[in-house]
A and B are shown apart, each in its own frame.
Chain A
Amino acid sequence: MIEVKNIYKSFGGQAVLKGVSFTVEKGEIFAVIGGSGQGKSVLLKVIMRLLEADSGDILIDGKSIRDLKGQALYKMRDRVGYLFQGGALFDSMTIYDNIAFPLREKTKISKKEINARVEEELQKVGLSGMGHKYPEEVSGGMKKRAAFARVLVMRPEVVLFDEPTTGLDPILVDSVHKLILWGKKTYGFTAVMVSHEIPEIFGVADRIGMLSGGVMVETGTPDEIRNSRVPEVRRFVRGLSEEVSVGGMA
């Protein structure tokens, strides 16, 4: 479904991605794990073409999206939903209007139908009766769920999740993960998910890739990653920092 081939991306001479490659099969959830500042969010934005890669290619269903422009690029994006780290809800609109926005702008369905679709999504993500609130009036978890509803309402084939659980308490983390699994089961989307949540991500992802030093150091099933022999992966999975000397102690 998605093939990421040898992607390079640098900012102001500083290389962030140095030849990242991986594939995501149709209908699977592929999680990208890795430390902070390793370029995971950059990678998602490159896949969405919100940022341009310096070199490399991305194929969706075997077709390169690297040089798409204008309507062709828009058509590609119509197939892909993006859940931003902070939700990226429009703060001048209510939650209801945020979810209705893509339907109003991109479809010709009636107001009645839009209302039905929005209410259905609100109910599915557990936000019934909250549609009239503005994003700043609800909690972080609610914002993520509202943003997820805005993505789902367009029924995308692929969803890119940028740290969907960052800043949430463990119970909300679990509820967002369950929501993602429910969404995948219900709508059958393919997902690429950037996450820090170890070990929770092992129960959500079908396959996992670890991004470190600008390259994908290992990809595999949750079990393979859990039992990896690659030092960076072992350290990250076990939550161990590099050896440091503090006050003479190693």
Chain B
Amino acid sequence: MDYILAIPRGIGAAVLSVLREMGDMFLFLARTVYWTFIPPLKINRVIRQIGFIGARSTALIVLTGAFTGMILGLQIYYTLQKFGAEAYLGPAIALSVIRELGPVLAALMIIGRAGSALSAEIGIMRITEQVDALESMSLSPFRYLMVPNMLAALISFPLLGAIFNVVAIYGGYLIGVKLLGLSPGTYFSGIKDFVGFKDIRDGIIKSLCFGVIMIWISCYKGYKTGHGAEGVSRATTSSVVMASTLVLVWDYFLNSVMLNF
């Protein structure tokens, strides 16, 4: 009998554990949002984190944006050629990048570069009791660690997404116009005709959401890190995996809603 009950008991325990962690994560996000509106704002830390999350990710974003645009140029041209619709290369690339690939790929790149570093940094602060030191001085770790990162991400993500978009569209231009012989006028006028404000707005909303996801998961995993170097390493890995997955899942839900409005 015990053997039979062990299975549902195990499943129940696992479900409870997942629910507990989810609750903990939402409370963590709620506390971060709460502290965002409690002055004083640590503006110097916000600026420093914009440098860390935003400015130092620019080269990576330019590089990935350029290659994404060039790959899209080749692939989409190949597909459009089959329908005799090469003239639509510009808008096809622009819409793909602005609505989808720009926000998503930029977010995945920033998660890999800055999100992992953030988890490790907060994790090390945790295990070396620097977070406890803040609390022992009656200073909230949320004000000093989470809020500046959250604001920095909200500023950096849309900007990096925009840089990604511009570079990717130019990468597509290089392939479509310079390599495959499309006229520059056709490439750019198509973009002007088909890309609307709604597409840009949706891209920006996605970037903002992905910025929140990265900071939420990276900070949470760092804050709740286990013991020693292994704990930090585990926190870093799981923060990248979880944030990347959540970006894709959330992207699906956003698309489902945005395409209907």
Give A78 to B138 CA distance when docked, in angstroms: 6
Contact A77 B136 (CB under 8 A): yes
A82 to B138 Cα, complex, angstroms: 11
State which residues 95-138 of A face B: CB under 8 Å.
Answer: 101-102, 105-106
The listed residue (B129, B135, B136, B137) touching A86 by CB distance below 8 A is B129
| Residue B133, interface by CB 8 Å | yes
Contact of A77 with B138 in the complex, beta carbons under 8 Å: yes
Q: A45, A85, A86, A106: which contacts B138 (Cβ < 8 A)?
A: A106
Nearest chain-A residue to B135 (Cβ)?
A: A50
A90 and B130 within 8 A (CB): yes
Q: Mark A76-92, 1 if CB is under 8 A from B, else 0.
A: 01101110111011110
Contact mask B94-128 → A, CB, 8 Å, 1/0?
A: 00000000000000000000000000000010001
For residue A181, CB closer than 8 A to chain B, the reply is no
* In the complex, residue of chain B having the shortest beta-carbon distance to the beta carbon of A84: B129
| Nearest CB in chain A to that of B133: its residue | A88
Asked if A74 lies at the interface with its beta carbon under 8 angstroms from chain B, I say: yes
Interface residue count for A (Cβ, 8 Å)?
23
- CA distance in complex: A77, B135 (Å): 8
Q: Are A90 and B139 in contact (CB under 8 A)?
A: no
- CB proximity to B under 8 Å, residues A155-199: none
CA distance A84 to B137 in the complex (A): 12
Residues of B within 8 A of A78 (CB): 138
- B202 interface hit (Cβ, 8 Å): no
Contact B138 A88 (CB under 8 A): no
Docked pose: A86 CA to B126 CA in angstroms: 12
The smallest C-beta distance from A137 to any residue of chain B, in angstroms, reads: 16
The interface centre, meaning the residue of A81, A85, A90, A154 with most chain B CB atoms within 10 A of its CB, is A90
Which residues on the B side are within 8 Å of A86 (C-beta)?
128-129
Task: Give every chain B residue within 8 A of A77 (Cβ-Cβ).
Answer: 135-138
A102 vs B134: C-alpha distance when bound (angstroms): 9
Q: Which residues of A contact B (CB under 8 A)?
A: 45, 48, 50, 73-75, 77-78, 80-82, 84-86, 88-91, 101-102, 105-106, 154
Nearest first, the 6 A-B pairs at minimum CB distance are A74-B138, A88-B133, A88-B129, A82-B136, A77-B138, A84-B129
